Amino acid sequence: MANLETDFIGIKSPNPFWLASAPPTDKEYNVRRAFEAGWGGVVWKTLGEDPPIVNVNGPRYGAVWGADRQLLGLNNIELITDRPLETNLEEIARVKRDYPDHAIVVSLMVPVNEDSWKAVLRRVEETGADGVELNFGCPHGMSERGMGSAVGQVPDYVQQVTEWCKTHSSLPVIVKLTPNITDIRKPAQAAKDGGADAVSLINTINSITGVDLDLFAPEPTIDGQGAHGGYCGPAVKPIALNMVAEIARTPDLRGLPISGIGGVTTWRDAAEFLALGAGNVQVCTAAMTYGFKVVQEMISGLSQYMDEKGFTSVDELVGRAVPQVVDWKDLNLNYVTKARIDQDLCIKCGRCYAACEDTSHQAISMSEDRTFEVIDAECVACNLCVNVCPVEGCITMERLAAGQVDPRTGAVVQDDYANWTTHPNNPAKCAAE
Domain with residue 336: its CATH number is: 3.30.70.20
* Residue 378 is assigned to a structural domain of this protein: yes
* Residue 119 is assigned to a structural domain of this protein: yes
**Given 138, 284, 389, 394, which residue is catalytic?**
138
Whether 158 and 268 map to the same domain: the answer is yes
- Straight-line distance from the first to the last Cα atom of the chain, in angstroms, rounded to the nearest whole number: 54
Whether 197 and 166 map to the same domain: the answer is yes
Whether 205 and 352 map to the same domain: the answer is no
Whether 272 and 353 map to the same domain: the answer is no
CA dihedral 184, 185, 189, 195 (to 10 degrees): 50
Q: What is the pLDDT of residue 77?
A: 86
Q: How confident is the model at residue 398 (pLDDT cuts 50, 70, 90)?
A: very high
Q: What is the pLDDT of residue 143?
A: 82
* Residue 131 is assigned to a structural domain of this protein: yes
The CA distance from 111 to 121, in Å, is: 13
389 is catalytic: no
Whether 268 and 360 map to the same domain: the answer is no
Whether 136 and 215 map to the same domain: the answer is yes
* Residue 19 is assigned to a structural domain of this protein: yes
* Residue 1 is assigned to a structural domain of this protein: no
Residue 19: phi and psi, rounded to 5, are -80, 135
Q: What is the pLDDT of residue 424?
A: 54
Nearest Cα residue to 123 out of 106, 136, 147 = 106
Q: Greater confidence, 421 or 314?
A: 314
Whether 397 and 276 map to the same domain: the answer is no
273 touches 286 (CB < 8 A): no
Whether 369 and 319 map to the same domain: the answer is no
CATH number of the domain within which 270 lies? 3.20.20.70
Q: What is the pLDDT of residue 142?
A: 84
387 touches 352 (CB < 8 A): no
The CA distance from 92 to 85, in Å, is: 11
Whether 270 and 347 map to the same domain: the answer is no
Question: How does pLDDT run across 47-91, given as a tens digit for each residue?
Answer: 998 777 888 887 888 999 998 899 999 999 888 999 999 999 999
Whether 276 and 352 map to the same domain: the answer is no
Boundary (domain end) residue, out of 304, 324, 344? 324
Whether 352 and 274 map to the same domain: the answer is no
Q: What is the pLDDT of residue 139?
A: 86
The CA distance from 242 to 224, in Å, is: 37
Question: In angstroms, what CA-CA distances link 173 with 8, 16, 250?
Answer: 11, 18, 21
What range does the domain containing 262 cover? 6-324
* Residue 291 is assigned to a structural domain of this protein: yes
Question: How does pLDDT run across 90-134, given as a tens digit for each residue?
Answer: 999 999 999 999 999 999 999 999 999 999 999 999 999 999 999
Number of domains composing the chain: 2
* Residue 65 is assigned to a structural domain of this protein: yes
What pTM did the predictor assign?
0.92
Q: What is the pLDDT of residue 425?
A: 54
Boundary (domain end) residue, out of 295, 324, 353? 324
Boundary (domain end) residue, out of 324, 344, 369? 324
* Residue 178 is assigned to a structural domain of this protein: yes
Whether 26 and 120 map to the same domain: the answer is yes
Q: What is the pLDDT of residue 9?
A: 98
Q: Give strand ranges (E) for 150-204.
A: 173-176, 198-201
